[in-house]
Amino acid sequence: MEDYFKSGEICKKAREYGITLIKEKAKLLDIAEKIENKIMELGGECAFPVDVSLNHIAAHDTPKFNDDRILNKGDVVKLDIGVHVNGKVSDTAITVEVGTNKYERLTKASEEALDNAMKIIKPGVKLREIGSEIQKTIQKYGFSPIINLSGHGVDEYEVHSKPIIPNCDNNDSTELKENMVIAIEPFATDGEGKVTEGKPSGIYELINEKNTRNNNARKILSFIKEKYKTLPFCERWIIKEFGVGAKLSLLLLERKGIIKQFNVLPEIKKGQVSQAERTVIVGKGVIN
């Protein structure tokens, strides 16, 4: 339990620091790397690459190693940060608009949905009741929850474990139990309320521990197993360690079904998207 609180504390500080970096003309790559470095400075490890997802991209966008994108005035930024301490994961996200407040209500909708969900969380509450609370709150603002994205349990070296915490009433009557560690993450949109699979993100995860005969790929694979275990990692981190040639090895490992790559997740009608996320220990409260 101790490590979860430590992880949560670092996660919270990293989020607060991240907010100060979101400014017009800031490079996405700098934002992600500075937050990742801050996490390590504070004594944590990244549970996944920092995601900086813009506008209609709801999630899973981390800068590439040579990314030259910058923030522009009016961008709606979802900053999603994960920390682990000895494998104990905490997950948090926040939405910040760059220099404007056109989407203030959209951001408020996901924040208030998160707050309202937190208010009812205790042992015995049904998953569908949390989803319903999120849905009602977002709809009250005239927006839609993204129903094919959801909160989740976290586990040792695992960012997404059971249960799924829905962003709508999904009829799941499973009850929360004392000491479950869960991340609640409402997404609100002025679009359709669904995401689809977009471009490859450069974020990967080990899915099959079988080996490969290719020397370079084998070296990288053993690094991945040792350093990230079953947690997501990204091309940028691997290139930092092994040089740009490592891209070929990642491709090979992906083709062999040893690692899988995530895609970025755009809203299906290119609607604007906001997100708010915190991790909570049921019966104990929010940790980040």
Q: The sheet that has 200-206: what strands, in order across it? A: 233-234, 200-206, 259-263
Q: Which is nearer to Mn ion, 239 or 287 (by Cβ)?
A: 287
Query: Within 156-215, which residues bind Mn ion (CB under 5 A)?
Result: 183, 185
Q: Which is nearer to Mn ion, 75 or 80 (by Cβ)?
A: 80
CB of 48 to Mn ion, least distance (A): 8
By CB under 5 A, tell whether 111 contacts Mn ion.
Answer: no
Q: What is the token pair recorded at 20?
A: 């100060």
Chain mean position to CA 182? 13
Alpha-carbon span 216 to 248, nearest angstrom: 9
Q: Total residues contacting Mn ion (rule CB under 5 A)?
A: 6
CB of 166 to Mn ion, least distance (A): 13
User: Contact with Mn ion (CB under 5 A): which of 9, 75, 91, 169?
Assistant: 91
CA angle, 124 then 9 then 53, to 5°: 85
Between the alpha carbon of residue 118 and those of residues 9, 90, 112, 122, 283, the distances in Å are: 18, 16, 10, 9, 11
Q: Which is nearer to Mn ion, 8 or 239 (by Cβ)?
A: 8
Under a CB-based contact definition with an 8 Å cutoff, are residues 73 and 100 in contact?
yes
Q: Which is nearer to Mn ion, 93 or 231 (by Cβ)?
A: 93
x/- binding map, residues 39-78, to Mn ion, per CB under 5 A? ----------------------------------------
CB of 223 to Mn ion, least distance (A): 24
By CB under 5 A, tell whether 80 contacts Mn ion.
Answer: yes
Q: Where are the alpha helices (DSSP H) in 46-162?
A: 104-120, 127-140
The DSSP element (H or E) to which 14 belongs, if any, is: helix 2-21
Q: Which is nearer to Mn ion, 53 or 249 (by Cβ)?
A: 53
Residues with catalytic roles? 80, 91, 152, 160, 185, 277
Q: Which is nearer to Mn ion, 111 or 185 (by Cβ)?
A: 185
CB of 163 to Mn ion, least distance (A): 13
Task: Name residues whose C-beta falls within 8 Å of residue 81's C-beta, 6 or more positions apart in sequence.
Answer: 11, 14, 15, 18, 35, 39, 50, 51, 91, 92, 93
User: Contact with Mn ion (CB under 5 A): which of 50, 58, 93, 146?
Assistant: 93
Chain mean position to CA 142? 25
CB of 196 to Mn ion, least distance (A): 19
CB of 185 to Mn ion, least distance (A): 5
For residue 127, give the nearest of 109, 150, 158, 94 by alpha carbon: 150
Alpha-carbon span 169 to 43, nearest angstrom: 38
- Only one of the segments 39-47, 91-99, 130-138, 260-268 lies at the binding site for Mn ion (rule: CB under 5 A); that segment is 91-99
- Only one of the segments 10-18, 38-46, 65-73, 80-88 lies at the binding site for Mn ion (rule: CB under 5 A); that segment is 80-88
Positions that interact with Mn ion (CB under 5 A) = 80, 91, 93, 183, 185, 277
